[in-house]
Amino acid sequence: MAQFDPVLFRQLPVIRKIIEDESWLEGERRGRHVAPDDPVVRDNVCQVILRIGGALRESIRKQLTARPGPTLLPMRSPQNDEAA
């Protein structure tokens, strides 16, 4: 069963913002709207994530250590409940 990663979960809004910003920036370069799944945008987002990813994860780990949130339990499907 897949485990919930609270660090990854907290990175998602930052990653969404990076995608949004890179789409906008590429749109400014081209003078028109550019979709988030454009190959140039994807490449730029990957470069940003590679550059800041380690620092972002460490920052979030420190936040979680200082102020841990609620613990989430893994979801169980009804068929797993029947077998127990």
pLDDT digit string (tens) for 21-70?
999 999 999 999 999 999 999 999 999 999 999 999 999 889 888 876 66
Tokens of 3: 């485990």
Cβ atoms < 10 Å from Cβ of 26: 19
The whole-number pLDDT of residue 6 equals: 83
Instruction: Give how many domains the chain has, as a whole number.
Output: 1
Burial of 79 (0-12, 13-18, 19+ CB in 10 A): exposed
Confidence bin at 16 (pLDDT 50/70/90)? very high
CA 13 vs CA 18, 71, 72, 74: distances in Å? 9, 20, 19, 22
Q: Which domain holds residue 61?
A: 6-68
In this structure, is residue 83 part of a structural domain?
Answer: no
The whole-number pLDDT of residue 5 equals: 80
Cβ atoms < 10 Å from Cβ of 4: 11
Average pLDDT value for residue range 1-12: 80
In this structure, is residue 78 part of a structural domain?
Answer: no
In this structure, is residue 75 part of a structural domain?
Answer: no
Tokens of 45: 């987002």
In this structure, is residue 10 part of a structural domain?
Answer: yes
In this structure, is residue 76 part of a structural domain?
Answer: no
The whole-number pLDDT of residue 7 equals: 84
